Chain A
């Protein structure tokens, strides 16, 4: 029989049992819809992670103290005192792949203005820091290198700090605030950046020259960390190796001795975060795929029922000249039609869910064409795979027995 006639035949058979066909499709519909939704949620969160990471500076490099000495009480990385201005100067001088560099000496404490106070952290940095972290000044000015040299008591406030110290909306610029006991003059306000990926409020900061923090707040010559930016994203790896070599030299580490610092790029962080979210996506997709398999088994079940129900019809068709392959194709096409129709409905539902979810739950979703194509193909394969055995059973029937089947 011609394929077009077989397709017409299958459509008629499905129309006759609309409810049954729909219920059979349900497994496939749910499977496909959830695969597409899960994959678009996964893709969406992956993209939002990389977007916010690159908003933190895509070629940013962080250098932190690190100790892996066996034995003894291990210390928190930021408490290990190894990074000094010598390192910063050496990197600035000898690492061509590094564009900008800023040390970071931070301290947390209470900021006070008049009757208002707010617990926050103050970050002592160089003017390059803003460029590296993609921060920008909203009002006022940034402190200069001159301020750094003179350890000037000036600062810039993040939006959260402004909101809490100046609750009545007065202009903070020019005002004097205190951090702990040290008075700072506010010379600028930073643009709001919102939350980071880790749920940290990136606007809850005060920025001041690092010399001021080192001398007046921490009384220390060490830095918590050093931030740098590579000349380009591609140069990140070069920058890391150059920085590592320079630091090993300035820290006088012998061959075979472990680094007392670690250098991280944003790219690494991105890979790490992406692998986490990829794993989650894979997991969710696997769960969703199970329902696709169950849907396939449902199709198989119904096709077996259908073959038994229509044994006489099969016998008749054989007696008037249907070959085994005609019967096989008839049932196979019916199964594939069920699964593909289910697939189409599933794709529509999945895409709808992926569009509606961000609006309702504020989950970022990105619909990937590949997920649609893949789940659609899987559907067709499911139909063929699970439809094949019942169809084979039908094709293998003995026409004599099938004709007399009650």
Chain B
């Protein structure tokens, strides 16, 4: 029972840099169905970041249509965009972006703080459930500097999950992590995907892309290739095939 969660039609985005007009996106079209695990790839300058900002409702297209869960993002005000980000999108960043000196639990609770419909008790329960889902039981009271990079990224993923978004949007989420931890995070992502979460994962590493169900390649502001992956690797298997960590 999948339906279109994302619908992008001929999206263009232009920036004015002084007198010059920079065309970051020159007409991008693709759809994402619920339950897909899409990686968006591209070298730097391909419009990857611009597209990500747009998908994350941080930016709006100059031209074209972007429908997120049947809402046209183009006509929304700043506050409406904020509401959309709060309820429909879960962000995972490369640099984790956790609040320093704030416990894991409080970090995960944060998105729910901006949702007035959710009370204190429910907020805590959902944050605990999200942390359990990323297997961080017993680390609720740890602050980011007491956690490893992988654990911090797990907290960030829990934070992205907690508001039950229609889509998790990851921006180079494994960029700061070593191979082993990257695979651990990807295993978690795959697990979440199997549970029905839609994931859009922006990366430039082909290795990471091979864990997803579909890859969209961007080049010069256009979609160069958009194809389902034939050989989807299992991150769990990749993890077990890694040599034993004897270098530290």
**Could you tell me if B97 and A312 are in contact, using CB atoms closer than 8 angstroms?**
yes
Residue A183 is within 8 A (CB to CB) of chain B in the complex? no
Residue of B58, B91, B101, B116 ringed by the most chain A CB atoms within 10 A: B58
Residue B111 is within 8 A (CB to CB) of chain A in the complex? yes
Partner of B111, one of A315, A320, A403: A320
- Shortest CB distance B51–A (Å): 12
CB-defined contacts of B111 to chain A, threshold 8 Å: 320-321
Residue B224 is within 8 A (CB to CB) of chain A in the complex? no
**Could you tell me if A1 and B114 are in contact, using CB atoms closer than 8 angstroms?**
yes
CB-defined contacts of A5 to chain B, threshold 8 Å: 113
Q: Which residue of A lies closest to B110 (CB)?
A: A320
**Could you tell me if B82 and A322 are in contact, using CB atoms closer than 8 angstroms?**
yes
Residue A138 is within 8 A (CB to CB) of chain B in the complex? no
CB-defined contacts of A313 to chain B, threshold 8 Å: 99
**Could you tell me if B58 and A16 are in contact, using CB atoms closer than 8 angstroms?**
no
**Could you tell me if A319 and B78 are in contact, using CB atoms closer than 8 angstroms?**
no
- Shortest CB distance B113–A (Å): 5
A5 to B115, CA, bound (A): 12
Residue of B82, B101, B115 ringed by the most chain A CB atoms within 10 A: B82
**Interface membership of chain B positions 205-244, coded 1 if the CB is closer than 8 angstroms to chain A and 0 otherwise:** 0000000000000000000000000000000000000000
**Could you tell me if B99 and A320 are in contact, using CB atoms closer than 8 angstroms?**
no
A23 to B111, CA, bound (A): 33
Residue A324 is within 8 A (CB to CB) of chain B in the complex? yes
CB-defined contacts of B110 to chain A, threshold 8 Å: 317, 320
CB-defined contacts of B48 to chain A, threshold 8 Å: none
Q: Which residue of B lies closest to A399 (CB)?
A: B58
- Shortest CB distance A388–B (Å): 19
**Could you tell me if A322 and B114 are in contact, using CB atoms closer than 8 angstroms?**
yes
A2 to B114, CA, bound (A): 8
**Could you tell me if A319 and B114 are in contact, using CB atoms closer than 8 angstroms?**
no
**Interface membership of chain B positions 133-155, coded 1 if the CB is closer than 8 angstroms to chain A and 0 otherwise:** 00000000000000000000000
**Could you tell me if B78 and A321 are in contact, using CB atoms closer than 8 angstroms?**
no
- Shortest CB distance B14–A (Å): 15
Residue of A5, A321, A322 ringed by the most chain B CB atoms within 10 A: A321
CB-defined contacts of A2 to chain B, threshold 8 Å: 113, 116
Within 8 A of B (CB), among A313-355: 313, 315-326
Partner of A400, one of B59, B78, B113, B115: B59
A332 to B163, CA, bound (A): 27
CB-defined contacts of A403 to chain B, threshold 8 Å: 58, 93, 97
CB-defined contacts of B101 to chain A, threshold 8 Å: 16
Residue B79 is within 8 A (CB to CB) of chain A in the complex? yes
A322 to B110, CA, bound (A): 10
**Could you tell me if A321 and B79 are in contact, using CB atoms closer than 8 angstroms?**
no
Residue B42 is within 8 A (CB to CB) of chain A in the complex? no
Residue B26 is within 8 A (CB to CB) of chain A in the complex? no
A-B pair number, CB within 8 angstroms: 58
Q: Which residue of B lies closest to A326 (CB)?
A: B114
Q: Which residue of A lies closest to B53 (CB)?
A: A400
**Could you tell me if A321 and B59 are in contact, using CB atoms closer than 8 angstroms?**
no
CB-defined contacts of B53 to chain A, threshold 8 Å: 400
Within 8 A of A (CB), among B8-64: 53, 56, 58-59
Q: How many residues in B have their beta carbons less than 8 Å from beta carbons of A?
A: 24
Q: Which residue of B lies closest to A395 (CB)?
A: B78
**Interface membership of chain B positions 69-81, coded 1 if the CB is closer than 8 angstroms to chain A and 0 otherwise:** 0000000001100
Residue B159 is within 8 A (CB to CB) of chain A in the complex? yes
A4 to B6, CA, bound (A): 36
Residue B87 is within 8 A (CB to CB) of chain A in the complex? yes
In the complex with contacts A1-B114, A317-B110, A324-B97 CB distance below 8 A: no
Partner of A323, one of B59, B82, B93, B113: B82
Residue of B78, B97, B113, B163 ringed by the most chain A CB atoms within 10 A: B113
A323 to B111, CA, bound (A): 12
A321 to B93, CA, bound (A): 15
Residue of A2, A319, A322, A400 ringed by the most chain B CB atoms within 10 A: A319
**Could you tell me if A324 and B79 are in contact, using CB atoms closer than 8 angstroms?**
yes
A135 to B191, CA, bound (A): 100
**Interface membership of chain A positions 385-403, coded 1 if the CB is closer than 8 angstroms to chain B and 0 otherwise:** 0000000000000011001
Partner of B87, one of A16, A312, A316, A321: A321
Partner of A321, one of B83, B97, B99: B83
A323 to B58, CA, bound (A): 12
CB-defined contacts of B115 to chain A, threshold 8 Å: 321
Q: Which residue of A lies closest to B123 (CB)?
A: A5
A325 to B237, CA, bound (A): 47
Q: Which residue of A lies closest to B162 (CB)?
A: A320
- Shortest CB distance B16–A (Å): 15
Residue B85 is within 8 A (CB to CB) of chain A in the complex? yes
- Shortest CB distance B117–A (Å): 11
Partner of B114, one of A16, A312, A320, A400: A320
Within 8 A of B (CB), among A79-115: none
CB-defined contacts of B59 to chain A, threshold 8 Å: 400
- Shortest CB distance A18–B (Å): 13
**Could you tell me if B113 and A319 are in contact, using CB atoms closer than 8 angstroms?**
no
CB-defined contacts of B113 to chain A, threshold 8 Å: 1-2, 5
A315 to B110, CA, bound (A): 13
B-binding residues in A (CB < 8 A): 1-2, 5, 16, 312-313, 315-326, 399-400, 403
Closest 9 CB pairs of A and B: A321-B86, A321-B114, A320-B111, A323-B82, A316-B97, A323-B79, A321-B85, A400-B58, A399-B58
Further 11 A-B residue pairs, CB within 8 A, beyond A318-B82, A320-B85, A320-B159: A1-B116, A5-B113, A320-B86, A320-B91, A321-B115, A322-B82, A323-B79, A323-B83, A324-B82, A400-B58, A403-B97
7 A-B pairs (CB sep. < 8 Å): A1-B116, A317-B114, A319-B58, A321-B85, A321-B111, A324-B82, A403-B58
